[in-house]
Amino acid sequence: MDKPYGLLAELTYSCPLQCGYCSNPLQLDDYRDELSTEEWKRVFSEAADLGVLQLHLSGGEPLQRHDIVELVQHANQLGLYTNLITSGLGLSTRRAEQLRAAGLDHVQLSIQADDQALSDQIAVTSSFERKRVAAGLIKKLGWPLTLNVVLHRQNIDRIGGILDMAEAMEADRVELANTQYAGWAGPNQAELLPTRDQLEGAEAVVQAARERIGDRIDIIYVIPDYYSKYPKPCMDGWASRQFTVVPNGEALPCPAAHELARGLNLPPATVREHSLEWIWTESPLFQQYRGDAWMPDPCRSCDRKEIDFGGCRCQAFALTGDAARTDPVCHLSPDHGLVEAAVAAANDPQRPKDGPLIPRAKVGRTKRAVGAT
């Protein structure tokens, strides 16, 4: 078993935006009892002892935590490389300067679109201008800037404008990632899955932009797996290199595995009851799909099983109700018809005009969590 190199700390599910592609769980209220400042500090210390090198601070919106500067400072003292994953809302000049002084290493800013009206419509919040201001602040304070753009049917045709905007913002890296149908994106899948024509158009635009921009911006483009022959090696395999701790202290091998974990009826792997070392090395949840002993056919006898690890456990669970099945994206999966049907529906010329996305819900926080400083 390898040591984990990355911890995704989802500090809170509170968020000022309501994007319908959000991968946060549908039952947001179950996660309101957030870890305190001291509990998160202990988690970071244990993570560093376990070998973790990179700490990703996410949510929801991590800037909703009043103790974010203190948490960054603690992680920095432990020698962890810290990455703030943010919508930019809440990044005032004062807060940004405090985070810089606390040692924050990197900022990843989410972008919904290059057009104000569309961006605000997708976020269900007036936020476009504030994101532009946040991008300027991030560059001014000397952080490397990564823009993260979740692509889907409603914004993928804007990819050229989004890349122009990235150039204007002097981004160092742009991650163009097609939506994964986890959390709120699950019920919104029909309104999110792009057509084949949209994808082909986007790929051509990305290729042309790469040639024009050269190495000034590192452009990462993740193709939607519904259109692939093979699944992606999700998480580099279950509990292989990284893990997630969610706001109430539950640890998960993957940031989208909330429902899957509950469906397994295994003892909870929570930092409130266990050390991270026990969770990583011994907890039944982390052991469940590690390695290849759990694999059914066709994966068991497939020569790609050490390349893609049988695909995504969350996708298998979401589509078939059984996380131990081959990812239905794989053309060899007995459940592949489920994916083919979704792709056919997305490309059906008779389908009704695209409707609005179901917005991600707002979530309250317990008193203890609000006063977590």
- Please enumerate, by residue number, every residue annotated as part of a binding site for [4Fe-4S] cluster: 15, 19, 22
**One-letter identity of residue 265:** N
**230 interface partner picked from ligand FES, ligand SF4, none, CB below 5 to 8 A per type:** ligand SF4
Q: Interface with ligand FES includes 256 (CB under 6 A)?
A: yes
**One-letter identity of residue 179:** T
Q: How far is the CB of 297 from ligand SF4 (least distance, A)?
A: 8
For ligand SF4, the closer CB: 175 or 308? 308
The two most distant CA atoms of the chain are separated, in Å, by: 58
Q: How far is the CB of 148 from ligand FES (least distance, A)?
A: 16
**257 interface partner picked from ligand SF4, ligand FES, none, CB below 5 to 8 A per type:** ligand FES
Q: Alpha-carbon distance 150 to 17, whole Å? A: 14
Tokens encoding 343: 């792709």
User: Could you tell me how many residues of this chain bind ligand SF4 (CB under 6 A)?
Assistant: 14
Q: Interface with ligand FES includes 312 (CB under 6 A)?
A: yes
Are 152 and 193 contacting, i.e. CB atoms less than 8 angstroms apart? yes
**One-letter identity of residue 28:** L
N- to C-terminal Cα distance for the chain?
Answer: 36
CB-based contacts of 162, cutoff 8 Å, min separation 6: 111, 113, 114, 149, 155, 174, 176
Binding mask 229-258 for ligand SF4 (x = CB under 6 A): -xx---------------------------
**182 interface partner picked from ligand FES, ligand SF4, none, CB below 5 to 8 A per type:** ligand FES
Q: How far is the CB of 205 from ligand FES (least distance, A)?
A: 27
DSSP class per residue in 268-322: P-BTTTS-HHHHHHT-HHHHTTSSSTTPPTTGGG-TTHHHHTTS-HHHHHHHHS-
As annotated, the binding site includes 15, 19, 22
- For β-strands 6-10 and 218-222, DSSP reports them as unpaired
Q: How far is the CB of 337 from ligand SF4 (least distance, A)?
A: 15
Residue whose entry in the numeric block shows the structure tokens 């082909």: 200
**313 interface partner picked from ligand FES, ligand SF4, none, CB below 5 to 8 A per type:** ligand FES
Of 276-315, binders to ligand SF4 (CB under 6 A) are: 298-299, 302, 304-305, 308, 310-311
Tokens encoding 51: 């070998």
List interacting residues with ligand SF4 (CB under 6 A): 230-231, 298-299, 302, 304-305, 308, 310-311, 326-327, 330, 332
List interacting residues with ligand FES (CB under 6 A): 180, 182, 234-235, 254, 256-257, 312-315
